[in-house]
Chain A
Amino acid sequence: MDLVQVGEEDFDPAEEYAHLRTSGSGTGAIATFTGLVRDSGDLSGVTGLYLEHYPGMTEQVITGLIHQARERWDLHRVRIIHRVGSLRLTDQIVFVGVSSAHRSDAFAACQFLMDTLKTSVPFWKKELTDSGEHWVEQKASDRQSGERWEE
């Protein structure tokens, strides 16, 4: 069963991995990605992030991305978690985990889901520093990473 979870709560990657691992004896590959709050982005000296989203739409768009991934690759389970609200340095932000029969499908779907999550799901990050705060700008490189899947 797929999971889409958006909220303030933290998550345990080991628990998510365990769910992916029990997706049947035909599962031969699991790919996961975890994103963390780091100390530099648009600004240096980042002490934390504030993450805003569009409740309702966020979950619908993620569910749509999983649907697209399932049309392109043979996937067993997909689990996506994205946190919102106030996060501190080194906190976990996002988890994408995919199980499949083969590694190529698992790797590709995991990367597709992360790339498109960054460019098409209504989340916004604000960087917090000791000297002020700043809404992160969308990067051309992220746009290109999202667009390369459109064909």
Chain B
Amino acid sequence: MATDTITVRYFARLREELGTDSEVLALDAEQRTAGDLLNTLAERGGPWRQLAGDQPVMIAVNQAMARPHTRVGPGDEVAFFPPVTGG
């Protein structure tokens, strides 16, 4: 039985400012949604505060666009990134 973890990935400006591109976190019972996870990460302070600040943060869960209320569960891949600017 695998432990209840999720992989969190960061891209572009967030990846640079947070100083990491991914991490594996133990999933807390209180973190039921992507928004809960964002708030928990923002409590780390410093550059992490921006995850719950005024700047928009886009969310993907298992490589599909998601919203703060999207549920997260064991084994999920959650990604946070700035609004996209391709094309």
Hey, which bits of chain A sit against chain B, CB under 8 A?
35, 51-54, 56-57, 60-61, 82, 93-94, 114, 117-126, 135-138, 142-143
Contacts and interface: CB of A to CB of B under 8 A. Distances in A.
Nearest to A41: B85
Contacts of A122: 11, 58, 60, 79, 81, 84, 86
A57 B60 CA distance: 9
Contacts, number: 75
Tell me the interface secondary structure of chain A in the complex.
mixed
A138 B56 CA distance: 10
Given A54-B79, A122-B81, A135-B13, A61 B87 contact: no
B82 interface: yes
Given A57-B64, A125-B85, A138-B82, 13 more contacts: A54-B9, A54-B63, A82-B86, A93-B87, A94-B87, A120-B65, A121-B84, A123-B87, A126-B12, A135-B13, A135-B85, A137-B85, A138-B85
